[in-house]
Amino acid sequence: MAATGNLSKTDRAMLAELKTFLPPQVYDVHAHLCHALAPDTHQHLADRLSGELTAKLWHAEVSRQLGNAQLVGGLLSVLPGPDGDVEAANDFLLQQLTRFHDCRALVLISRHSDRARVAELLETPGVAGFKPCLNPLDADARPARTIADLLPDWAWKIADEQALVILLHLFKRFAPITPAARQAIRNRCLKHTGARLILPHGAIGFHDPYALDDLADFRSLPNLYVETSTVCDAAVLVSLLNAFGPRRILWASGFPAAAIRGTSVAVGNAAICLDAKALGADPAEPDQQPPLLGLEALRALRKAADLFGLTQADLTDIFSDNALRLLGLKTEPAGQTQSLYRYAKTRIPSGTQLLSKRPEMFAPNQWPAYFREARGCETWDLDGRHYYDLTTSGIGACLLGFRDPDVTRAVQRRISLGSMCTLNPPEEVELADRLCQIHPWAQQARFARSGGETAVVAVRIARATTRRSLVAICGYHGWHDWYLAANLGESDSLDGHLLPGLDPLGVPRELRNTTLTFRFNNRDEFQKVIDRHGDQLAAVVMEPMRYHMPEPGFMEFVKTRTNAAGALLIFDEITIGWRFTFGGSHLKLGVNPDIAIFAKALGNGHPIGAIIGTRAAMEGANASFISSTYWTESVGPVAALATIQKLQQLDAPTHVARIGEMIADLWRQHAKTHSLPVTVADGFPCLAHFQFDHPLAQELRTLYTQLMLEKGFLANLGVYPTMAHNDEIVARFGCAIDEVFGEIAAALDAGDVKERLNGPTAHSGFRRLN
């Protein structure tokens, strides 16, 4: 190949534009060498390039396209020559490799390759894996091939055993991205977890736009990566980032294609390269030539980075560190997730902002406290470990699944337009209308940004409306003083209301006896509250249901007695609302409150809380000072509107109930198989849960979580199903339950449950960490 020539005026302008974008060091994960291009094999290159493609030429060409960034190495492969001789091509590649010690090589193999010869090649220093050879000179070449045609199973096995890299081209001519091909790739990655697969050119045969929606098939595969070479469409790169995140994207030049002047363009479900000739550039005018394809691809990546919001650390990962880790050239400190949490406990009192997210509530010193990415029902911790979330799905906040694309799109639009300013967001009016339409008994709404806040606001409004102070509660309603005041008289008053051991330390003693408790479905206890305090009662705050339906007539009884006493009935729908039915669960009961409060699933992971009520009940909000700056930002209402719209289109309650029942059946089935002392609750499957009936219940619970973590599941005694959970994931979870229950049964038989724990026993309620 002749020297690539001088940079054009356009090239230099693009390099200047990229100067602040590129990190200091770059590793190229896809570059082709060749001792001679074969026109009939690589027509798209041979028409434009000629001569020998050496490692020295690769380094010079790619380096000049990187400006001040240093090219620290590359993952080199080789193109067959005119005779299609794979052996000769590999010899040339390995000869070139000796001149660049910071590089690694992928040898060519084909379905005709001798296994022993491949094993011999893999022993060569610097060889990191292989690339399937697509050689049309094969006598039995076919227009399209299966994944098995491209790479035989024995090669996958070798890659698995030796932790090798496979670079798998998926051109339409050879291996179209069909459902069968995607499933074949998925199956092999799941079977051969030690193999590390790189899909070039955006995974989809030079950015086929119609294949982007199918990338979710590969998302949960921790051993699959995608590289960016020759992709000149920022939208495609954003889709890749959405699908895989910055830790699974690798930068590549695609040399020698990067040296072509032109760009690659998606047309229909394929792509073409528009070179200088196709663009009508005058060969006699150098500055009229199109820029280098490599620079076009870099510019597209820069735009995608801006659109996605990549940080400098993300760019360092994409341009070098992801590749270095993949090839074993860079290691990260082990246990970053646990290490950060140990530090957090010295900086953040109680370690986390939410009791229900403390690792000590699950498996101390083992549960991952932090996530790097989350989508659907999957999450990745700081150490890159992948988990399916079969616990509370963001403490019940993400009914649609983590990072739902439709909700995220609505939020991104609002952020792009500005989410906060001196004025108010019009979306709050639209949201108020929408909630009142869904709940026709309500005429007004106020908003906050968390569940606890909505409860505080609702109680304040009730006190202001009634001019009374006392509140009766049934259920869990947050951490604020008005609620914890129930434990000022008797420290265990709230023990039957979800969380035991809530110490009212810091709550003014003067609030004693201002919050009274009664138990669900207990008419006598409630009547005693009314008889003793009815004329002082401002509100009755309760969950209309959580795990079970109320007994017939109980809610009517509560409403009648509450209103007769001159108090307001407040339904807390924060947990069960939207999950049991569209809107508040009270709509199923046919009993309307005076006020209802919502949060959690209302924003599908974005902060928003709502207080809706009758005009008469909400009157106190006009007189009482209830005001907060961040209640006026616009992301929360926008997220709520998008969530409500999608929930109305889907039948979420039916889906999550079905998934929950499937999981409950698996617990029952496998507990019976292994003779475990397990009781599965008979409550709503949308909040499925079970318990160990054994003196070592907490130890067994901890061991269950510990073993599930090892199998790639976040799991505890309960599951809040989401729209992202499906039959396939539940089936995998079922296999894990079977194995884990078997190990627990063995531990009970051996009498060594405690000895099998890798850390302390999980906490059962609120407890100090120091």
pLDDT score of 138: 46
| CA 429 from centroid of its chain's CA atoms | 31
pLDDT of residue 270: 61
pLDDT of residue 174: 44
For range 257-271, the mean pLDDT: 77
Residues 504/484, Cβ–Cβ less than 8 Å: yes
Q: What confidence tier does 470 reach under pLDDT thresholds 50, 70, 90?
A: very high
Give per-residue pLDDT as tens, 571-618: 999 999 999 999 999 999 999 999 999 999 999 999 999 999 999 999
- Domain boundaries along the sequence of the chain: 9-326, 336-401+652-756, 418-645
Computed on alpha carbons and rounded to an integer, the radius of gyration of the chain in Å comes to 31
Give the rounded distance of the alpha carbon of 206 from its chain centre.
26
Query: How many whole angstroms separate alpha carbon 538 and alpha carbon 528?
Result: 16
Lowest mean pLDDT across 499-503, 543-547, 582-586:
499-503
Q: Percent of the chain at pLDDT above 90?
A: 75
Neighbours of 481 (CB within 10 A): 15
3-class DSSP assignment, residue 349: coil
What is the residue whose two structure tokens read 């459902």?
179
Q: What is the largest CA-CA distance in the chain?
A: 99
The mean pLDDT of 33-55, rounded to a whole number, is 65
Structure tokens, 698: 């907490």
At 4 the pLDDT is 44
Query: What are the pLDDT digits (tens) for 412-430?
Result: 999 999 999 999 999 999 9
pLDDT digits (tens, 9 = 90+) for 58-68: 999 999 999 99
Do residues 194 and 326 lie in contact, with contact meaning Cβ atoms separated by under 8 Å?
Answer: no
Residue 191 has pLDDT above 80, yes or no: yes
User: Which residues are bridge partners to 379 per DSSP?
Assistant: 374, 387
- Does residue 141 register a pLDDT over 60? no
Cβ neighbour number for residue 126 with a 10 Å cutoff: 15
**pLDDT, tens only, 288-338:** 778 899 999 999 999 999 999 999 999 999 999 999 999 999 988 889 999
Quick one: pLDDT at residue 149? 76
Name which of 637, 634, 630, 645 is nearest 603 in CA terms. Answer: 637
pLDDT at residue number 273: 73
Under DSSP, is residue 208 helix (H, G, I), strand (E, B) or coil? coil
- Contact status, residue 299 vs residue 235, Cβ threshold 8 Å: no
Cis peptide before 359 (omega within 30 of 0): no
CATH of 336-401+652-756 given 3.40.50.1970, 3.90.1150.10, 1.20.20.10, 3.40.50.10860: 3.90.1150.10
**How high is the pLDDT of residue 144?**
43
Query: Using an 8 Å Cβ cutoff, are 354 and 565 in contact?
Result: no
DSSP helix/strand/coil, 628: coil
Cα 105 from Cα 90, distance rounded (Å): 10
Q: How does residue 175 score in pLDDT terms, banded at 50, 70 and 90?
A: very low
Q: Dihedral sign, CA of 191, 194, 195, 200?
A: positive
Q: What is the reported pLDDT for 196?
A: 97
Q: In three state form, how does the secondary structure of 143-183 look?
A: CCCCHHHHCCHHHHHHHHHHCCEEECCCCCCCCCCCHHHHH
Residue that the structure tokens 């380096």 belong to: 63
Q: Are 724 and 376 in contact (CB under 8 A)?
A: yes
Residue 125 has pLDDT above 50, yes or no: yes
Under 8 Å between Cβ of 192 and 160 = yes
Of 40-49, 59-68, 660-669, 742-751, the least confident: 40-49
Lowest mean pLDDT among 176-180, 205-209, 545-549: 205-209
Give me 763's structure tokens: 């906490």
Residue 201 to residue 251: CA distance in whole angstroms? 10
The confidence score (pLDDT) of residue 323 equals 97
Q: For tokens 């049964």, name the residue.
A: 745
Give me the CATH code for the 9-326 domain, please: 3.20.20.140
Mean pLDDT of 743-762: 97
For residue 196, give the nearest of 229, 167, 153 by alpha carbon. Answer: 167
> Which range has the worst mean pLDDT, 5-14, 650-659, 710-719?
5-14
Nearest 10 degrees: Cα torsion 693, 696, 701, 706: -150
Please state the φ and ψ torsions of residue 542, each to the nearest 5 degrees: -155, 155
Please state, rounded to an integer, the average pLDDT across all residues of the chain.
90
Alpha-carbon gap, residue 165 to 128, rounded angstroms: 6
Query: Is residue 134 over pLDDT 70?
Result: no
**Per-residue confidence (pLDDT) for residue 265, from 0 to 100:** 75
Mean pLDDT of 477-496: 78
The pLDDT of residue 135 is 55
Return the pLDDT at 504.
86
Decide the pairing of beta strands 127-132 and 165-167. parallel
* Predicted model pTM: 0.89
Q: In sequence order, what are the residues at sequence separation of 6 or more whose Cβ sits closer than 8 angstroms to the Cβ of residue 238?
A: 304, 307, 308
Angle at 36 between CA 320 and CA 102, to 5 degrees: 25
CA dihedral 270, 188, 152, 159 (to 10 degrees): 110
| Rounded Cα–Cα distance for residues 629 and 627 (Å) | 7
E-strand stretches of 599-643: 609-613
Q: Which helix (H) or strand (E) holds 352?
A: none
pLDDT of residue 326: 96
Please give the average per-residue pLDDT across 739-746, as a whole number. 98
Taking the C-alpha atoms of 669, 670, 672 and 677 in order, what is their torsion angle to the nearest 10 degrees? -120
Q: Is the pLDDT of residue 565 over 60?
A: yes
Average pLDDT over residues 631-641: 98
Least Cα distance to 294 among 34, 35, 20, 60 occurs for 60
Closest to 431 in 3D by CA, of 645, 651, 606: 645
Q: Which helix (H) or strand (E) holds 314?
A: helix 312-316
Task: Answer positive or negative: Cα dihedral of 255, 261, 266, 270.
Answer: negative
Q: Tokens 């990962």 map to which residue?
A: 317
pLDDT at 1 over 60: no
The answer to whether residue 46 scores a pLDDT higher than 50 is no
CA 505 to chain centre: 37
Q: With cut-offs at 50, 70 and 90, classify the pLDDT of residue 18.
A: very high
Nearest to 354 by CA among 455, 447, 452, 456: 452
Say which DSSP state 550 is in: P
Q: Comparing C-alpha atoms, which of 370, 754, 454 is closest to residue 631?
A: 454
Of residues 717, 709, 710, the one with CA closest to residue 692 = 717
How does pLDDT run across 201-212, given as a tens digit for each residue? Answer: 886 544 445 555
> Class assignment of domain 418-645?
alpha beta
Q: Which range, 39-43, 51-55, 439-443, is most confident? A: 439-443
Q: Which residue has the tokens 């000796």?
A: 98
Q: What pLDDT does 358 receive?
A: 96
CB 56 within 8 A of CB 348: no
- The pLDDT value given to residue 284: 67
Cα separation of 321 and 30, whole Å? 15
Percent pLDDT > 70 in the chain is 90
The span from the first CA to the last CA of the chain, in angstroms, equals: 68
**Contact between 318 and 249 (Cβ < 8 Å):** yes
Across residues 153-177, what is the average pLDDT?
81
Helix ranges restricted to H, 19-152: 43-46, 55-65, 86-97, 115-122, 147-150
Mean pLDDT, rounded, for 133-149: 57
What does the pLDDT read at residue 173? 47
